[in-house]
């Protein structure tokens, strides 16, 4: 059974930092790009960024609003992806989902975690 389990969320003050983790199991984590997507309360989905696999040089990409503040990393030995969030703003308040997908394979897949709430408030 595939599982993506996020942890590390909570309440943080504006300007603060938080690091989310995404523990994966049930699929070939090391070969998969890992994405983070967020959703503010009552709003739509927003892609945050992604990190590709070792075969793709662990390349990262981010949405403009988080560039320079957020960093995505991974530890393939622990089957875990991370989202380091610095200089947090109130507008970063959202449920953050860890997700992975690949449609260009014999067995396409699209997996999401349950989401974790990050609240940025004083």
Partner 1 sequence: QSVLTQPPSASGTPGQRVTISCSGSSSNIRSNTVGWYQQLPGTAPKLLIYSNNQRPSGVPDRFSGSKSGTSASLAISGLQSEDEADYYCAAWDDSLNGRVFGGGTKLTVL
By CB under 8 A, tell whether 40 contacts partner 1: no
Find the shortest distance in angstroms from Cβ 2 to partner 1. Answer: 12
Q: Is 9 or 113 the residue whose CB approaches partner 1 more closely? A: 113
Q: Tell me if 58 contacts partner 1 by CB under 8 A.
A: no
SS3 (DSSP) at 67:
coil
Cα separation of 64 and 33, whole Å? 19
Task: Record the tokens describing residue 95, joined without a space.
Answer: 């449920």
Strand partners, 99: 35, 112
Phi/psi of residue 54, each to 5°? Answer: -60, -40
Span interacting with partner 1, options 9-17, 24-32, 84-92, 112-120, rule CB under 8 A:
112-120
Give the DSSP per-residue string, 75-97: ETTTTEEEEEE-S--GGG-EEEE
Regarding 35 and contact with partner 1 (CB under 8 A), the answer is yes
Is residue 113 a contact residue for partner 1 (CB under 8 A)? yes
Pick the binder of partner 1 from 9, 24, 34, 50 (CB under 8 A).
Answer: 50
User: In Å, what is the CA distance from 115 to each residue of 10, 37, 103?
Assistant: 12, 9, 22
Site for partner 1 in 66-85 (CB under 8 A): none
Binding region for partner 1 (CB under 8 A): 35, 37, 44-47, 49-50, 61-64, 97, 101, 103, 108, 110, 112-115
């Amino acid at each position: 059974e595939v599982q993506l389990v996020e942890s590390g969320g909570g309440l943080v003050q504006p300007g603060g930092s938080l690091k989310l983790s995404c523990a994966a199991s049930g699929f070939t984590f090391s070969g998969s790009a890992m994405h983070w997507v967020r959703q503010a309360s009552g709003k739509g989905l927003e892609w945050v960024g992604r990190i590709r696999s070792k075969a793709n040089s662990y390349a990262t990409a981010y949405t403009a609003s988080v560039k320079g503040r957020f960093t995505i990393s991974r530890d393939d030995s622990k089957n875990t992806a991370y989202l380091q969030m610095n200089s947090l703003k109130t507008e970063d308040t959202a449920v953050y989902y860890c997700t992975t997908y690949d449609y260009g394979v014999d067995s396409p897949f699209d997996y999401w975690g349950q989401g974790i709430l990050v609240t940025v408030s004083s």
